[in-house]
Amino acid sequence: MRHLLSAGDLSRDEATLILDTARELAQAGARSVKKFPTLRGRTVVNLFYEDSTRTRTSFELAAKRLSADVINFSAKGSSVAKGESLKDTALTLQAMGADGVVIRHSASGAAHRLSGWVDGSVVNAGDGTHEHPTQALLDVYTMRERMGRLDGLRVAIVGDVRHSRVARSNVLLLHTLGAEVTLVAPPTLVPVSVHTWPCAVSYDLDETLAKSDVVMMLRVQAERMQGAYFPTPREYSRRYGLDGERFAKMHDEAIVMHPGPMVRGMEISAEVADSPRCTVTEQVANGLSIRMAVLYLLLGGSESAIGA
């Protein structure tokens, strides 16, 4: 594996290796000295064309925990703001000898294009409405830790599927790992190409809840909407929001997930978001271990990730 561009590129063995490596790193992270020498001398560039405090910080901390040199490159205030193209930026990074480039871009396919211009490994940290593979990996890792299995797990992904790169990556990865996925959304927020995805589709959240082991709520991405996809936020919440009444219909062991940031009161009620069965905070913590594992496996060697 040279790049991580799509969750769909991962085989079952490759995905399991990332999850197992992340678990090893998470357990070792409990010790007093949390830094490993694994990537000493390597350079990782965080190339972010979209604002993202959570994901950029997670990747930066992951690389630093592995002792890599980290360069944060934001489109704002850089040569990009003066009109420099992605290819010219890539060639600049190539000249600087970057071993790994983590890219977030508003254009679907940007990570794939970049991978053809640089010699180092490229990690897709979100490209347009296409994919966000490390988010899917941390979501799946969280499910495996909480539920103890992935094979046969019934997962409902609810909300703005049309604009969600998280949904697509999760569907692909969960299918590879043996889970059964149902997308639940208003008809206007289901992608036209959804028939090619390995999942079922429902427009009825209440019908799906009772038979789901995991319910993943999605953020409504108003900034990507050019028109009205539902009548009002209140109507959306009434039909697709997860409140206490609906939460009570889930079986006792089922968990609730959200990639964040959450819109409380519309996508999810405060009662559900603050429940012990909601894994939002765990997902953030697990994201660090997953990104360390990905960087280690792409840029490291065959030695143990924790130098044991």
Q: Per the annotation, does 23 bind a ligand? A: no
Distances (CA, A) of 219 to 22, 157, 209, 250, 261: 26, 11, 18, 20, 7
Contacts of 83 (CB under 8 A, 6+ apart): none
Q: Per the annotation, does 135 bind a ligand? A: yes
Q: Per the annotation, does 94 bind a ligand? A: no
Full DSSP string of 247-271: HTTS-TT-EEE--S---BTTTB-HH
Q: Per the annotation, does 233 bind a ligand? A: no
Q: Are 43 and 71 in contact (CB under 8 A)?
A: yes
* Annotated active-site residue in 42, 56, 104, 130: 104
Q: Per the annotation, does 57 bind a ligand? A: no
SS3 content of the chain, % helix, strand, coil (to 5): 45, 15, 40
Q: Per the annotation, does 54 bind a ligand? A: yes
* Known active-site residue 55: yes
CA 187 vs. chain centroid, Å, equals 24
* Annotated active-site residue in 3, 56, 130, 132: 132
* Known active-site residue 104: yes
DSSP assignment, residue 77? Answer: T
Q: Per the annotation, does 219 bind a ligand? A: yes
| H/E element, 71 | strand 69-74
Q: Per the annotation, does 104 bind a ligand? A: yes
* Annotated active-site residue in 31, 53, 76, 82: 82
* Annotated active-site residue in 21, 38, 43, 55: 55
Distances (CA, A) of 126 to 3, 93, 110, 190, 292: 14, 19, 9, 19, 17
* Annotated active-site residue in 12, 35, 54, 251: 54
Q: Which pair of structure tokens corresponds to residue 228?
A: 């009205």
Q: Per the annotation, does 224 bind a ligand? A: no
Tally of residues, the chain: 308
Q: Per the annotation, does 113 bind a ligand? A: no
Q: Which pair of structure tokens corresponds to residue 13?
A: 């063995």
* Known active-site residue 211: no
- Active centre residues (catalytic): 54-55, 82, 104, 132
| Residue list for the binding site | 54-55, 82, 104, 132, 135, 165, 219, 260-261
| Residue list for the binding site for L-aspartate | 82, 165, 219
| Residue list for the binding site for carbamoyl phosphate | 54-55, 104, 132, 135, 260-261
